[in-house]
Structure 1
């Protein structure tokens, strides 16, 4: 049976509290690979918790993390933009909070800390890419319709994580030139990377609630299904290496 545990964790630097949800299948004995689930610009929601449960059903521990802090969630795009903006302005803050979630995942008793990965959606995809850029010792990260601009941080050395980018070709927030720039960046940092672009697909293609085709944001069932299966294959390969 899938277990869901609310996790309250704190930043030791400032005492800020965060609320995440850890999900696993208690029919599977022993420690399991852990996978972060990083949220969209609206903050953690049932969507991300559902993805964590889906990962648990695959035999992992899914952790629906919290970038904004306990109680900070948005119900409108305007409120979501206000919550996200400080992290766009300060990518060091973004990296601090995603690393805090990563440590929380690794320290959970159900998790094999030597076998971890992460996925993220939209803003969460940016978080996953920044985690990889930092040189974090994580097996692999997956960006679903993420944003690709580089942070103004002095990262050096090779990217250790394998990187999978699942991209809507018609995404207005990640146009072809930024996708090519990301590929060049990952190549320069000697990452093991893949970018899979889906035709006739915009932003937010994984979310059935996305219904704004006039803004390039809409659910695409086939692309969502294909992307998830590609992610499944990616993590099977990553964790088989250990």
Structure 2
């Protein structure tokens, strides 16, 4: 799901305009997990003496693309250090729909490996210049599913936010170890994970005693935040972004 540059420019200069005081710096960040090399992307605001906090971004099923980099830069403009992590490995970004399915399928088929890569990236955040100990994890689509996957491992962060993510609970997993609040941003017309999946997730979080919240965007379909996609919904994108800012302010600032 690639960034549509004309729409992204419009959104960037209106709804998500960068502060005149912000000088956003972004660059690739290479790291390793268990001997395997990964390449993510880090963005920060060089005009700030201190970051407001760190936001870890888990990518969609097509890997780290301009979309994740754009979101990282938007967060940097708000004063956060953003780290778009790589789940697939350096040089393994998909280049077709078939490879999207293959790469994401590999992670769903091997949950232990998926979790190891997510946990390794979370640990890597400690070594990023300007990053803080306080971290919120967010993700879109496949990345939204990754957010919940990481949360279920008991990873200690300040919070987890899933945007139009896959919400199914894998066999053998539960939410008993979740260590921070969970927020869900979801469309009511999402054909991938419908309202029954949302209800089941919230029931599970409630039963486990986990602080949680959900914002349902009426009529929004899957990928409603992805610029240029057929599902893009400006109102839902704007509302979910504002909700994220409130969540970050409460958990990090």
TM-score by length of 1: 0.91
RMSD, aligned CA: 1.4
Q: Does residue 227 in structure 1 map to residue 240 in structure 2?
A: yes
Q: Does 1:54 align with 2:67?
A: no
Question: Of Structure 1 and Structure 2, which has the larger fraction of its residues in strand?
Answer: 1
Asked if 1:109 is matched to 2:109, the reply is no
**Pair 1:98-2:118 in alignment:** yes
What is the CA-CA distance between 1:31 and the residue it aligns to?
Answer: 4.8
Most deviating of 153-162 and 201-210: 153-162
Whole-Å Cα distance in 1 between the matches of residues 42 and 172 of structure 2?
A: 30
Given the alignment, which residue of 119, 122, 130 partners 2:141?
122
1:210 aligns with 2:229: yes
- Deviation string for 1:59-110 (max 9, x for gaps)? 1100111000011112322210011111111112111111111111122231
Residues 167 and 196 of structure 1 are in contact (CA less than 8 Å); yes or no, is this contact kept in structure 2?
yes
Candidates 65, 80, 94, aligned match of 2:100: 80
Match of 2:42 in 1: 22
The structure whose RCO (Cα within 8 Å, separation 6+) is larger is: 2
Q: Please, which moves more after superposition, 156-165 or 90-99?
A: 156-165
Q: In the alignment, is the contact (CA less than 8 A) between 1:201 and 1:223 conserved in 2?
A: yes
The gaps in structure 1 that reach 5 residues or longer are 212-217
Q: Deviations over 1:128-179 (max 9, x none)?
A: 1111111111001111100111133455744211111000111011111111
Moved over 2 A (4+): 151-158
Aligned to 1:44: 64
The SS at the match of 1:224 is helix
Matched, 1:65 2:85: yes
Alpha-carbon distance in 2 for matches of 1:43, 1:235: 24
Provide the aligned length of Structure 1 versus Structure 2: 231
| Residue 161 to residue 72, structure 1, CA distance change in 2 (3 Å) | same
- Cα distance in 2 between the residues matched to 1:126 and 1:7: 23
Structure 2 gaps of 5+ residues are 1-22
How has the CA–CA distance of structure 1 residues 156 and 129 changed in structure 2, closer, same or farther, with 3 Å as cutoff?
closer
Q: Is the 8 A contact 1:171 1:203 kept in 2?
A: yes
Correspondence list, 1:156-171, <5 A: 157-171=176-190
Q: Which moved more, 1:18-27 or 1:145-154?
A: 145-154
